[in-house]
Amino acid sequence: MSTQEHMKKLLISAMLAFLVLGCSSPQANGQATDETAEQRKERILTNLKFLFPQLQEHDVVMGELEASGIDGLEQGSFVINGRQTQKFLVTADDKQLFLLAADPLDVSRTSEELAALQTEQEAAAAREAQERGAELAQAVAGLPVRGNPDAPVTIVEFSDFQCPYCARAYNTVEEVLAKYPDDVKLVYVHFPLPNHPWAKPAAIAAVCAAQQNDGAFWTLHDGYFENQGSINPGNVIEKSKAFLDGADIDLEAWAACAGDAGSEAYQGAEAAVEGALQMGNKFGVSGTPGFFVNGRFVSGAQPLETFEALISQAKQDVQ
């Protein structure tokens, strides 16, 4: 852990606990009380560096102290290395300084006002999900679909064939599709991560299969997740070909597309995978698996109950 990270951890711990730091006051130390504002700031900072020795290793700038709107307390902040800002409240005599974890919260609303605000927030979230869902639907048009093509709920999954969490999610998604055969459809979008060496070749191979037959795509999709532990960068194309044995496609054409990096077909499939990655980045996906249920985002290998709640909400949104 770096010194900066350690310092940040210490400050966060202090903030969460709202520690009261016993800063020495000029009165307590017999100091003159006619010090300037700059001298007071310097004294407070000196105390903080004593209490948090790690601060001595960094560039720390103390901001101005000003009225906080709270009787008996002033507010201020200091900036570490020009990046991390820490806010605080301090008593007028400087005997107590409170590190703040966040800006002040308004806790004055009545139950009725909170209920109205919640309704407003839920409506805004529904509108945002609807807009995102429509944009996603346009972006994934033409990709293979599993489930009822006319289902009112669409799950768009950004996934990586080598990701162990995606393999776990694969089983959950199968449960979802079995439970909601009429209500849900799945669209799979490639998001191979750079630290998974056979994920991208597998994604390219799957694109090549989908160009011929959607069923062949799902055959590879299932084969990769169900046999994830036995696949490696050296055998991914061989394994893919074995999964496709008996599929209704031209295996020779598929092999040229999936395995010949110099072929136009391969380059087109690779461009499709890169386009899918860009799509995921555009929609804020940063890891796998990532799901959009009618535009509502959920990250990670979630349990069935999470999808049930999202599907229920999505069905309400479209009513």
Please write the tens of the pLDDT for every residue from 205-240.
999 999 999 999 999 999 999 999 999 999 999 999
Nearest 5°: phi and psi at 68? -100, -15
User: Measured between alpha carbons, how far is 76 from 86 in angstroms, rounded to an integer?
Assistant: 9
Q: Check pLDDT > 90 for residue 134.
A: yes
Output 199-204 pairs: Cβ under 8 A, ≥24 positions apart: 199/160, 199/161, 199/162, 199/163, 200/273, 201/233, 201/236, 201/237, 201/258, 202/161, 202/162, 202/231, 202/236, 202/240, 203/161, 203/273, 203/276, 204/257, 204/258, 204/266, 204/269, 204/270, 204/273
Three-class SS state of 73: strand
Please write the tens of the pLDDT for every residue from 55-95.
999 999 999 999 998 999 999 999 999 999 999 999 999 99
Give the lowest-confidence range in 15-29, 39-53, 166-180, 283-297.
15-29
Q: Please give the structure tokens belonging to residue 28.
A: 């307590």
pLDDT of residue 102: 85
pLDDT of residue 34: 75
Residue 258 is given by DSSP the state H
Please write the tens of the pLDDT for every residue from 138-184.
999 999 999 999 999 999 999 999 999 999 999 999 999 999 999 99
**Averaged confidence pLDDT in the chain:** 89
Give the lowest-confidence range in 5-14, 176-185, 195-204.
5-14
Residue 55 is given by DSSP the state G
- Cβ contacts of residue 4 below 8 Å, gap of 6+? 58, 80, 81, 84
Q: Check pLDDT > 90 for residue 29.
A: no
Please write the tens of the pLDDT for every residue from 264-313.
999 999 999 999 999 999 999 999 999 999 999 999 999 999 999 999 99
Q: Which of 275, 241, 277 is nearest to 257 (CA)?
A: 241
Q: Check pLDDT > 60 for residue 5.
A: no
pLDDT of residue 105: 82
Residue 212 is given by DSSP the state H
Three-class SS state of 235: coil
Three-class SS state of 80: strand
pLDDT of residue 318: 76
Is 32 buried (19+), middle (13-18) or exposed (0-12) by CB count in 10 A? Answer: exposed
Q: Check pLDDT > 80 for residue 119.
A: yes
Instruction: Tell the residue number behind the tokens 């209490």, with chain if given.
Output: 51
pLDDT of residue 33: 57
User: Measured between alpha carbons, how far is 277 from 290 in angstroms, rounded to an integer?
Assistant: 12
User: Measured between alpha carbons, how far is 48 from 21 in angstroms, rounded to an integer?
Assistant: 8
The pTM of the full predicted model, rounded to 2 decimals, is 0.70
pLDDT of residue 14: 43
pLDDT of residue 103: 81
